[in-house]
Structure 1
Amino acid sequence: MIDGVIFDKDGTLFDFRASWGAWALRLVEVLAKETGLPAAQLGAAIGFDPVAQRFAPDSVVIAGTSAEIAAALAAQVPGSQAKDLEDRMNRMAEGAPMLPAVDLPAVLGDLRNRGLKIGLATNDVEVTAHAHLAAHGISALFDYVAGYDSGHGPKPGPGMCAAFARQLGLAPERVVMVGDSRHDLEAGRAAGMRVVAVLTGIAGAADLAPHADAVLPDIGHLAAWIDGLSA
């Protein structure tokens, strides 16, 4: 019943808090030192508390594009250019300490061994997505990788998901979109796909369940859920 799976990256393949908390802290601390603005003010602009090192549920970092994050910060820094700030953020993001949510080679390898096509759709930029996959030795497990700058638009639009199905010759109804935010689920649903939420991001089950076909602890439970569809 399922021929392909397209994953979100941050909060889905990688644990969101552990992976992006350190990046956000470094970003606001560097900008605070350079501008003289309080780190708390810069953090608030992107929904991040640098003292508690915690993201707000509506943080732009969770589901927004790097352009949206940069614009939110640039609005706090007089004379700054959002595009320059975005380029700088993306360079920092390529080296962000990404912590896998599960044993990615094992989990993704099992899905591929089942004959499934595997894709990635992230609101990060494509070059950073490739860097993160390569850093964990899992690039070869993906048939498709798209960022918000790949020409298909950002989530919650369906473009990246639809392009995955189209390019791999898959019927959308036989594809699962897996993500940790409403943006992910809305993107998959708009593309005509089944949608599964995981709890390795910031959003809780109560927020995600109304928009998902299933809510799983992490992607390690996905294979069993797929098996249950044909039981």
Structure 2
Amino acid sequence: MPHLAGIRLVAFDLDGTLIDSLPDLAVAVDAMLLELDMPAAGEAKVGGWVGNGSHKLIERALHDALGEMPDDARLTAAHERFLDYYAEAPSARTRVYPGVHEALAALRERGVIVTLITNKPQAFIAPILESLALAGYFDLTLGGDSLPRKKPDPAPLLHVAEHFGVAPQHCLMVGDSRHDIDAGKRAGFHTLAVPYGYNHGEPVSTSRPGAMVESLAQLV
């Protein structure tokens, strides 16, 4: 595929790119809100809040429920309860998008280094990948708390490129949101977007990715 010409390493986002995790995230957010005597948000709202890590997700949920920014103590406590609820069943309703298994397998067969860079906490990555039969595809995974900075900062991408000794111009960032595309551009990676994920209600095309595909099956 022309998208992979000269590419030696591919970094994938997780939520909204490889998996539809919104149902499980929304269940955990709503459980946390209800415990705090706040109205449930529902999937539609939660989908607009996903993308910057769990801490920002809960900050947005509380801001919406309270009509103002929560103080640090309230946010910390709510975030901890969200993590507890999410840990109970992080992939019960989560599904792999069509074409993902085929694309990851094809990249591995070609000898391309396959990595995962997500803003989801690291502790959830392995259980989710294992339960969805995705764990065996990745040479390295990074969560939002694996390094001091996360996407859209380019640091995680540059870390992966340096770890494998691959120059950024031979790397590709694949994601569904402006945070993925911005991080890729700032790191000097090529960028590829999918249109079906979570991007705060905006078309990811507005971030001007290097290319777009309707399905990752197009990488096969």
Q: Give yes or no for contact 1:23–1:96 (8 Å, CA) kept in 2.
A: no
**Residues 117 and 143 in structure 1, CA contact (< 8 A), matched pair in contact too:** yes
Of residues 104, 129, 133 in structure 2, which corresponds to 1:108?
104
In 1: Cα distance, 2:23 partner to 2:80 partner? 22
TM-score, normalising length from structure 1?
A: 0.78
Task: Give, as a single letter, the amino acid of the residue that structure 1 aligns with 2:26.
Answer: A
Q: Cα 1:38–1:87, aligned 2, differ >3 Å: closer, same or farther?
A: closer
Report the Cα offset of residue 70 of structure 1.
2.4
Taking a change above 3 Å as real, the CA distance of residues 129 and 142 of structure 1, as seen in their structure-2 partners, is: same
TM-score between both structures, scaled by the size of structure 2: 0.82
Residues 134-213 of structure 1: pairs in structure 2 closer than 5 A: 134-203=130-199, 206-213=203-210
Please name the residue that 2:53 is paired with. 65
Which residue type is aligned with residue 188 of structure 1?
Answer: G
Distance in 1, Cα, partners of 2:153 & 2:89: 23
Q: Secondary structure at the match of 1:9?
A: coil
Instruction: State the percentage of identical aligned residues.
Output: 28
* Offset, 1:33: 3.7
CA RMSD of aligned residues (A): 2.5
Structure-2 separation of matches of 1:178 and 1:99: 18
**Match of 2:49, as an amino acid?**
V
One-letter amino acid of the counterpart of residue 140, structure 2: Y
Aligned runs of 1:124-139 on 2, under 5 Å?
A: 124-139=120-135
Where in structure 1 are there 5+ consecutive unaligned residues? 44-49, 224-231
Give the deviation of 1:120 after TM superposition.
Answer: 0.4
- Letter of the 1:66 partner, please give it: S
Give the number of aligned pairs: 206
Pairwise mapping of residues 46-57 of structure 1 onto structure 2 (< 5 A)?
50=42, 53-55=43-45
Structure with the greater relative contact order (CA < 8 A, sep ≥ 6): 1 or 2? 2
Partner of 1:14: 19
